[in-house]
A and B are shown apart, each in its own frame.
Chain A
Amino acid sequence: MNKRQGEGCPKKYADTSRDVSVKSSSPVLAAFKVFQQELDTRHDKYERLVKLSRDVTIESKRSIFLLHRVTSVPNTEEILKEADLKLDGVRHKIGQIAEELMGEDIYQFHRAYTPGIQEYVEAVSFLHYIRHRRLISLEEINARLVFCSQGAADALSPGSQVLTFHVTPSDYLLGVADLTGELMRMCISSVGNGDIDTPFQLSQFLRQIHDGFSYIGNTGPYEVSKKLHTLRQSLAKVEDACYTLRVRGSEIPKHMLADVFSSRTTLIDPEEGVV
């Protein structure tokens, strides 16, 4: 050890690069080469998951926009089918996420894909509400996220391997919180189209969700309390809308309701911008 110390030190000031090459066989550098590989593999996987998550987010958002069109179209079933098709594509992407996560601790990479999953929950629960007028459950979401890994199926194992993706309760919760914003928009636009029943249904549903979130309160993850604030605003907007409909509805002829209502929403809108 003394020997190495004698030759290593004075050179250090002259050039470090040669010093590195001299010692490149040292156990420390060998160990760090292993670390380099390990870290790179991990970061690569993380990046791939972020990409997949972004794709899931974009496609889910598009499905939601598509679903907003149901209020103004006579044939809703066609739009619902199209949205289902879009969401199948999203599910395929989630299958790829599940494949990436195979054999990993899912929480290690959770931050990479949680935005996408939340958006997916939002889209799928929105579709479910429009179709069935009730809240989709966590099991129902997870039940559709079962995949057969194609790659392994024909190459390695004869029986296709079943992959599942589990949406965590907190992702579900955050997705449902986002859903309320979409429901509010749906409520406003359905009034615009002269639909008087939907707003009342929606306000009841939103109230139930609001009660649910109040029940959970601050025991949930930190983001929930933030979303609870927006949820209150959405609920107030919908309740105001229902109030207007009830009060003015009996006085004004139906075909004029839309005008009354749209002037009301423009009154509310700037308030939202402030908060």
Chain B
Amino acid sequence: MSVTEMFGYIQGFLDVDQEIREDIRKVVQTLEQTAREILTVLQSVHQPSGFKEIPSKCVRSRDLFCKVRAQIADLKTKFPSEQYYRFHEHWRFVLQRLVFLAAFVVYLETEALVTREDVAKILGIEVVREKGFHMDIEDYLAGVLIMASELSRLAVNSVTAGDYDRPLRISNFINELDSGFRLLNLKNDSLRKRYDGLKYDVKKIEEVVYDLSIRGLAKEAESVGSK
């Protein structure tokens, strides 16, 4: 094979690669659009009036997740399934957002941490790599960390809206999450950087809880609990 032929041959590979990337980019754009729609729906829980409407907001965003599932199914057809990590960077960001949104919805519904299996089900993807398009564990954890900062915001706003119970429950939840993350041996990568932000969320929520307890506002909730 001559040098020219060899380079032509390599060029063939690069062209195919480029085409796949274009296709993926298009689908990822629609996914990002849907993710923004869901976020808009969920953002209204921060409004004073939104607290009563949490169940209906959750239902609405669950509906939107149907659209996500369809779009991800479309994404799956754009590249060979065993080359997931080759193109991972293209959907990494949006997948983390979607994990966050799914985890947030599940938290608002049940006040529990969403399992990996449940997120995978909500997004219509697999948990383990062998079965096809899956959710990388680091993306799952990153999504959960995004939710933690959203919850610290929710704690502040729920006090403003007069809901003094919620910050206490959020505080419990976040503390549990924090001790969970402390079990992990993270490398010095983006996930680690994001994890470093968790302590500020914990601190913020503890401040809220402190403010409530010195003013006796947390008392009612507590006394109900200990009886």
Task: Using CB atoms and an 8 Å cutoff, list the residues of chain A in contact with chain B.
Answer: 1-10, 12-13, 16, 19-20, 23, 26-29, 31-33, 35-36, 38-40, 42-43, 105, 107-108, 110, 134-135, 137-138, 169-170, 172-173, 205, 208-209, 211-213, 215-216, 219-220
Q: If the complex has contacts A9-B171, A19-B175, A110-B85, are A31 and B180 also in contact, measured as CB distance less than 8 A? A: yes
In the bound complex, do residue A29 and residue B180 qualify as a contact, i.e. CB atoms below 8 Å apart? Answer: yes
Closest residue on chain B to residue A31 by CB atoms: B115
Complex Cα gap A5–B209 (Å): 12
Q: Does B93 contact A (CB under 8 A)?
A: no
Q: Does B27 contact A (CB under 8 A)?
A: no
Distance from A92 Cβ to chain B, minimum over Cβ atoms (Å): 26
Residues of B contacting A38 in the complex (Cβ-Cβ under 8 angstroms): 137
In the complex, are the beta carbons of B85 and A28 less than 8 A apart? no
In the complex where A28-B177, A220-B14 touch, is A36 in contact with B225 (Cβ < 8 A)?
A: no
Chain B residues with CB under 8 Å of chain A are: 1-4, 6-11, 13-15, 18, 82-86, 88, 111-113, 115-116, 129, 137-138, 141, 168-169, 171-172, 175-177, 179-181, 183-187, 206, 209-210, 213, 218, 221-222, 224-226
9 A-B contacts (beta carbon < 8 Å): A5-B169, A13-B206, A42-B137, A43-B187, A105-B85, A135-B6, A169-B14, A208-B3, A216-B14
A212, B7: Cβ atoms closer than 8 Å: yes
CB distance from B50 to the nearest CB of A (A): 22
- Chain B residues with CB under 8 A of A9: 168, 171-172, 209, 213, 218, 222
CB <8 Å contact, B84 and A105: yes
A216 to B7, CA, bound (A): 7
Of chain A, the residue at the smallest CB distance from B173 is A28
Cβ–Cβ contact B111 & A1, under 8 A: yes
Contacts of B180 in A (CB 8 A): 28-29, 31-32, 35
Inter-chain contact total with CB atoms closer than 8 Å? 141
Assuming the A-B contacts A26-B176, A28-B113, A208-B4, are A5 and B221 also in contact, with contact meaning beta carbons closer than 8 angstroms in the complex?
yes
Minimum CB–CB distance for A12 against chain B, Å: 6
Contacts A31-B115, A216-B7; is A3 near B179 (CB within 8 Å)?
no
Contact of B9 among A35, A138, A220 (CB under 8 A): A138
Could you tell me if B83 and A105 are in contact, using CB atoms closer than 8 angstroms?
yes
Nearest CB in chain A: distance from B90 CB, A: 12
- Cβ contacts under 8 Å, B226 to chain A: 3, 6-7
Q: Which residue of A lies closest to B223 (CB)?
A: A6
> Which residue from B6, B116, B137, B213 sits with its C-beta under 8 Å from A39?
B137
- Cα A28 to Cα B172 in complex, Å, equals 12
Contact, CB under 8 Å: A212 / B172: no
Q: Do B6 and A212 have beta carbons less than 8 Å apart?
A: yes
Select the residue from B3, B169, B175 with max chain A CB neighbours within 10 A: B3
Q: Which residues of B contact A27 (CB under 8 A)?
A: 112-113
Cα A137 to Cα B108 in complex, Å, equals: 58
